A and B are shown apart, each in its own frame.
Chain A
Amino acid sequence: GAGVSQSPSNKVTEKGKDVELRCDPISGHTALYWYRQSLGQGLEFLIYFQGNSAPDKSGLPSDRFSAERTGGSVSTLTIQRTQQEDSAVYLCASSLGQPYSGNTIYFGEGSWLTVV
């Protein structure tokens, strides 16, 4: 079956431009996550959606970052006025329910963002 799908896989953008990154979770998965991974670093939590609950946005680094999830499925992460420090791999993940009690989190392959 299909895994978590992310697009674009690679994006080069100019400083100051806005970018949108898309995530298609595994069908039926109610939980969706965005993480960021900078070169040689671990994953940094950005945002978590669970069903119809209010998302946990506590990891968004600034108000230039926003995310939405439409219809409980597809999610878009938007970065406005991109800066060079935004260059990273943006990883989306999904799980059948909350990420515990055996609910494995499945990651996509990431969107590699380079801001020049």
Chain B
Amino acid sequence: QKEVEQDPGPLSVPEGAIVSLNCTYSNSAFQYFMWYRQYSRKGPELLMYTYSSGNKEDGRFTAQVDKSSKYISLFIRDSQPSDSATYLCAMSGSSNTGKLIFGQGTTLQVKP
């Protein structure tokens, strides 16, 4: 079993829809949670960073962490065609390591 599980999709939605992306994990030591966006043939770019449990909002994006359920989510409101990309969750349990554990990534397509 992988430490981090993420549905690879693909996920196809109409423009303007609310998108929900999710990851589950097994390591209860994880404290740092991130969402990255990766366009085709590009490197990942950080979208959201959350420490421990709770919600964080940035524009159209909201990240949620539920440590009791070992479940994290990324919500995208008013989705745009430019949001079409692969979304990767990443997490780590220690502030003294550069090792992030990534999910497989979910491919999202937002249709005009």
The answer to whether A and B come from one shared complex is yes
Interface residues of A (CB under 8 A from B): 4, 31, 33, 35, 40-45, 48-50, 56, 58-59, 91, 93, 98-102, 104-110
Query: Are A107's CB and B44's CB within 8 A?
Result: yes
Give the total number of A-B pairs whose CB atoms are below 8 A apart.
Answer: 66
13 contacts between A and B (CB under 8 A): A41-B104, A42-B103, A42-B104, A43-B44, A43-B88, A45-B100, A48-B99, A91-B43, A93-B43, A99-B92, A100-B92, A107-B43, A110-B43
Count, chain B residues at interface, CB 8 A? 26
Question: Knowing A43-B44, A45-B101, A91-B43 touch, does A101 contact B88 (C-beta < 8 A)?
Answer: no
Query: Are B98's CB and A98's CB within 8 A?
Result: yes
Give chain A residues whose Cβ lies under 8 Å from the Cβ of B49. Answer: 102, 104
Q: What 10 A-B pairs have minimum CB-CB distances, sorted nearest first?
A: A107-B43, A48-B98, A42-B102, A43-B102, A42-B104, A45-B99, A100-B95, A109-B43, A104-B46, A107-B44
Query: Are A108's CB and B43's CB within 8 A?
Result: yes
